[in-house]
Amino acid sequence: MVDRAPRDDGKLIINAVASVLVLSYALPYVYLVSTALKPAADVQQIPPSFFPAQLSLENFGTVIATAGLPQAFLNSVTVAVLTTLLSLLIAVPAAYVSALYRRRITVLFMLFALVTRMVPAVSLGVPLFQIMKALGLLDTTIGLVLAHTSTAVPLAMLLMAAFFDGVPKELEEAARIDGCSRFGAFWHIVLPVMPSGLAITALFSFIASWNEFLYALLLTSQHGKTAPIVIAEFNSVYGLAWGPMAAAAVLFSLPVILVTLILQKQIVGGLTFGAVKG
């Protein structure tokens, strides 16, 4: 777009534009962090200030002392970890045969996993409420794990199948010739060569469950509540407690952001991979 300018000048301008764009994009989140760090009394001052006049951990103190919030964070961790383990356990074998043993049934099953992505959560949530009620699993972490896994399995299947697609079929065949059983080839030979695929799939399942809101809202009411639900309740129960709410939101999003920064390359790779492969 800047062909007529000397090329380095052009790049410099584009670099500046891109930097401004990216920084203005980050501003809202920076404001959230700065709000969380303001003294509680300053949060709702008029006119608002972007940066805290003085730093304070008051809002974080309020959050930790808020009834139910530590428990909700614990529930979130439990549900997300169990969802991840269960969905990998179920999805990985299915993805493996779908990628390496292409048959009519595996193709149809993958198509089914793809269609499942179209199902609005609320359409599944209405009958899931009934099923969980009948099973006595309403307001339990197990009930929520099952609900989350129902959406995590198709996602994990699609991602893992894309990763297995990158494994040469010869690897499995060589293992078979060396006397491995079919399951042995899967377990001892193919699976160990793809730790990054497994890690990304696990991370995506974890994040999806960690962030999930609608099922948690429908299927839990007291004991099984997860962090997003309790954070959302700051809205109504405590009036407009913006300070603690910002602090809770920061606490809630920080672990995922840190992991993202560490694994940025793999995550973006996996994400674009998954999207482009559809």
Partner 1 sequence: MTERRFVLLMLLPAMLFLGFLVVYPVVLLVYNSFFDVKLIDPSSRVWVGLGNYVEALTSKRILESALRTLKYSTFALFFELVFGLGAALLFAAIAKRSHWHRTIFALPLMISPIVAGLLWRFLLVGNIGILNYGLAGLGIIADPGAIKWLSDADIVIYSVAVADIWLTTSFVALVSYAGLTNIPQEVLEAARIDGTNAITRFWYITLPMLRPVLAVVVLVRGIDALKTFDLIWIQTQGGPRQASEVLSMNIYQRMVRYGDLGQASATATLFLLFMIALAGLAYWKIWRTDNG
Kindly state the smallest distance separating residue 217's Cβ from partner 1, in Å. Answer: 8
CA-closest candidate to residue 274, choices 204, 187, 173: 204
Q: How far apart are CA 12 and CA 256, in angstroms?
A: 33
At how many degrees (to 10) do helices 69-100 and 58-65 cross?
Answer: 80
With b for 16 or more beta-carbon neighbours within 10 A and e for fewer, the 3-27 pattern comes to eeeeeeeeeeeeeeeeeeeeeeeee
Distance, in Å, from the CA atom of 216 to the CA atom of 76, rounded to the nearest integer, reads 10
Specify the residue, 177 or 276, whose C-beta has the smaller distance to partner 1. 276
Nearer to partner 1, 7 or 67 (CB): 7
Residue 69 CB, nearest approach to partner 1 (Å): 14
- Distance (Å, whole) CA 219 – CA 234: 19
SS3 content of the chain, % helix, strand, coil (to 5): 75, 0, 25
Q: Is 139 left (phi over 0), alpha (psi -120 to 50) or beta?
A: left
Judged by CB, which is closer to partner 1: 64, or 131?
131
C-beta closer to partner 1: residue 65 or 257: 257
Please answer whether residues 212 and 232 qualify as being in contact, where contact means their C-beta atoms are separated by less than 8 angstroms: no
Question: Which region holds residue 239: left if phi is over 0, alpha if psi is between -120 and 50, else beta?
Answer: left
Minimum distance, C-beta of residue 228 to partner 1, in the bound complex (Å): 4
Instruction: State which residue, 55 or 89, has the beta carbon closest to partner 1.
Output: 89
Residue 31 or 52: the one with the smaller Cβ distance to partner 1 is 31
Rounded to the nearest whole angstrom, what is the least distance from the CB of residue 75 to partner 1 in the complex?
Answer: 15
Q: Residue 16 Cβ, how far from partner 1 at the closest point, in Å?
A: 10
What beta strand segments (E) does the chain contain?
Answer: none
Helix 69-100 × helix 242-262 angle, to 10°: 30
Nearest approach, Cβ of residue 44 and partner 1 (Å): 5
Sign of CA dihedral 278, 119, 221, 29: positive
Q: Least distance in Å: CB of 227 to partner 1?
A: 9
* Cβ closest to partner 1, residue 199 vs residue 259: 259
Minimum distance, C-beta of residue 157 to partner 1, in the bound complex (Å)? 7
Nearer to partner 1, 16 or 65 (CB): 16
